[in-house]
């Protein structure tokens, strides 16, 4: 009578194996029945006339023919986006500058870092002034130095008692 539980387990394993194999066969049959993709349109042997080629407006990949303007970071607070804004006219061009400067971390640039800017993107070659960098940061407000002057307290008629201060 001890063989009955072993036999049930054995038959269960066999049954599961058969179901897994059938499921695998069914999934390959589904793949085989899918229609083939439509054929590509034929390519004509004669080239069609095209207008002048227009460069893509998206980010350009660095290439051997690209000429660069090199900006050296001079001021505290400069960032790749600020540099892109000054030289290209759009701070969103920091992404393109990142592609052309794979050796720098755009999140952490320091004085002395050299940033290559593709000349094809440049709007100006004038050096970036400190005032432009400072315009991206809030101006600190002047705080009054020292403690505020204490409010005058009424003096007592006797004049011998000192004036009390502190919480009441």
Neighbours of 128 (CB within 10 A): 18
Q: Is the dihedral of CA 21, 24, 30, 32 positive or negative?
A: negative
Which of 75, 71, 69 lies closest to 135, judged by CA? 75
- Torsional sign, CA 63, 66, 72, 77: negative
3-class secondary-structure state, position 95: helix
Instruction: Give the global pTM.
Output: 0.48
Per-residue pLDDT reduced to its tens digit, 48-79: 444 444 444 445 555 568 899 999 999 999 99
pLDDT in tens, 125-163: 999 999 999 999 887 776 655 666 666 555 545 567 778
pLDDT class of 123 with cuts at 50, 70, 90 = very high
Structure tokens at 149: 């002057």
How far is the CA of 64 from the CAs of 33, 61, 67, 100, in angstroms?
A: 48, 10, 8, 11
Domains of the chain: 68-134 (3.10.350.10)
- Is-contact 101 72, C-beta < 8 A? no
**3-state SS class at 154:** coil
Strands 114-118 and 68-72: antiparallel
In this predicted structure, the answer to whether residue 26 has a pLDDT above a threshold of 70 is: no
H/E segment holding residue 44: none
**Average pLDDT score over the chain:** 76
């Amino acid at each position: 009578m001890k063989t009955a539980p072993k036999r049930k387990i054995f038959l269960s394993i066999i049954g599961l194996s058969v179901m897994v194999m059938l499921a695998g066969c069914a999934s390959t049959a589904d793949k085989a029945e899918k229609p083939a993709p439509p054929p590509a349109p034929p390519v004509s042997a004669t080239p069609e006339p095209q207008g002048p080629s227009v460069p893509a407006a998206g980010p350009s990949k660095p290439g051997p023919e690209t000429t660069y303007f090199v900006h050296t970071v001079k001021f505290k607070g400069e960032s790749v986006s600020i540099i892109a804004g000054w030289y290209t006219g759009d701070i969103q061009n920091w992404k393109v500058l990142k592609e052309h400067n794979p050796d720098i971390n755009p999140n952490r640039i320091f004085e002395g870092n050299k940033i290559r800017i593709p000349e094809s993107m440049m709007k100006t070659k004038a050096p970036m002034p400190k005032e432009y960098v400072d315009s991206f940061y809030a101006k600190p407000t002047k705080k009054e130095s020292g403690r505020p002057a204490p409010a005058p307290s009424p003096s007592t008629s006797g004049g011998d008692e000192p004036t009390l201060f502190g919480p009441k």
